[in-house]
Amino acid sequence: MEWTKEARYRLYKSMTAKERMELERLVSASIWRQNYHIQPMHGLLNDPNGFVWYNGRYHLFYQWFPFGAVHGMKHWFHTESSDLVNWENKGGALEPEFSFESHGIYSGSGYVHNDSLHLFYTGNSRDDEWNRHSSQCLAVMDELGKITKLNKPIIEKQPKGYTEHFRDPKVWEEKGKFYMVVGAQREDLTGCVLLYESSDLIQWSWLGEIRTKAREFGYMWECPDYFTIENHGVLLFSPQGLQPEGDSFQNIFQSGVWVGKPLNLENGQFLHGDFQELDAGFDFYAPQTTLSPDGRRLMVGWMGLPDIEYPTDTEGWAHCLTIPREVMIKDNLLCQRPVRELKEMRKTESRSVMMLSNELRNPGLLSGESYEMIVNIELGNARRAGMKLRVGKGEETLIYLDAKNQKVVLDRTDSGTKFAQEYGSVRQKDYSKNNIRLHIFMDNSSIEVFINEGEIVFTSRLFPRKDSQGIQFFAEEGTAEIEAVQWEI
């Protein structure tokens, strides 16, 4: 199908029964539908939005274009869960109605106040010359799930000195006031985050930029989020336009954090350390955090990237969200771990322990395409040791320790259907210890690997054949001990 402007900028409610059936037929033939990740029923999913605990449940919305795997008219799709494991699709939640949002309901956040869920989003519109206009907007959801939009933006446009790239409001409360960060671009085409303040969530005043130590760090910062953990301030955002640097910034766009002192809300000063890229894998972008009712800081990301073609694009759907993770700070690094609730998904358990000596072996019972696995590798004198996953005819995905180069490596060169090849097919991070713990979540078309305490994470899509389900352990040029426990999901 040809994606003309008319085909891209349509409302979900204009979808005909025939179109829906055709999409459903295409999607149901896909071998890469996920088992336990949040994915669109059809169409394209991107950023998580409005992630919040409200009225006894988690609410998690996402950017959604219903008609196919392209970025067109964005809606918010709504899902709900009481346990972060079972998600219930509630349907489309926000769709364009007003002129200020005529070309999409862009990303934003949720904030609960006075028993109502306030949904802050960016109204994206285009004029006749296709110039972009962005405003920050508000919709309010009540306990029955009824959503009412304000009929005009709460922040009509960007301040002077900034371009129309002005989006993705995230709201929080501190010392009796409300604050909002918005991703922005200065007129000199550098990215930054703008800070706003309000006492009623409706009237907002601009306080200025968040003053960081990076004057030039990419051309646009998307999806900012600010939060504190213990006594640390954390500014999370997705900068665009960073150049690759060693093993870092290998994907088209990045996302990461600065960990520092709590933000000074009087003058916008944020004292922070070095930029920490949040993921070492191939497919991770635009994450958003929220607080659980028991005080944990939870994070979900988009397991995909803009401007990249994915193998399911021809199947009427694209992308999924990551598993929910808990984030914490250890030695000034933001670490991520799978939320403990995910243990509920564990089914049959298998175990294997092996001493390997310059060999490749099948560890008995372990195999599969949807599982959780915890692996401990003790490097003896092997040059490389690790695992091959999703092994099948001509297919394998490798995760291993490279002792010679002191790296931990994810290699998807032969994972299956190839895509995004121009960005390479190997990702690695410095790693000098001779033991490692890998906590792996494999789903039908993705892998998430949490290393040790979660200080390194690899998040990636994989598109193997259905029958590529083997698991093998290996040690090259020496010995290693590998111990694994696996649960089917």
Can you give the binding site for ligand FRU, defined by CB under 6 A?
46-47, 63, 74, 106-107, 122, 167-168, 222-223, 285-286, 306
Shortest Cβ 17–ligand FRU spacing (Å) = 27
- Choose between 67 and 431: whose C-beta lies nearer to ligand FRU: 67
- Choose between 37 and 103: whose C-beta lies nearer to ligand FRU: 103
Shortest Cβ 133–ligand FRU spacing (Å) = 14
- Choose between 237 and 441: whose C-beta lies nearer to ligand FRU: 237
- Choose between 223 and 442: whose C-beta lies nearer to ligand FRU: 223
Shortest Cβ 116–ligand FRU spacing (Å) = 23
- Choose between 106 and 179: whose C-beta lies nearer to ligand FRU: 106
- Choose between 104 and 454: whose C-beta lies nearer to ligand FRU: 104
Which of 47, 225, 279, 414 is catalytic? The answer is 47
Shortest Cβ 326–ligand FRU spacing (Å) = 23
Q: Which residues lie across from 132 on neighbouring strands?
A: 126
Shortest Cβ 184–ligand FRU spacing (Å) = 11
- Choose between 407 and 461: whose C-beta lies nearer to ligand FRU: 461
Shortest Cβ 474–ligand FRU spacing (Å) = 37
HEC secondary structure over the chain: CCCCHHHHCCCHHHCCHHHHHHHHHHHHCCCCCCCCCCCCCCEEEEEEEEEEEECCEEEEEEEEECCCCCCCCCEEEEEEECCCCCCEEEEEEECCCCHHHCCCEEEEEEEEECCEEEEEEEEEEECCCCCEEEEEEEEEECCCCCEEECCCCCECCCCCCEEEEEEEEEEEEECCEEEEEEEEEECCCCEEEEEEEECCCCCCEEEEECECCCCCCCCEEEEEEEEEECCEEEEEEEEECCCCECCECCCCCCCEEEEECCCCCCCCECCECCCEECCCCCCCEEEEEEECCCCCEEEEEECCCCCCCCHHHHHCEECCECCCEEEEEECCEEEEEECHHHHHHCCCEEEEEEEEEEEEECCCCCECCCEEEEEEEEECCCCEEEEEEEEECCEEEEEEEECCCCEEEEECCCCCCCCCHHHCCEEEEECCCCEEEEEEEEECCEEEEEECCCCEEEEEECCCCCCCCEEEEEEEEEEEEEEEEEEEC
Respond yes or no: is residue 47 known to be catalytic. yes
Shortest Cβ 104–ligand FRU spacing (Å) = 7
Active-site positions read 47
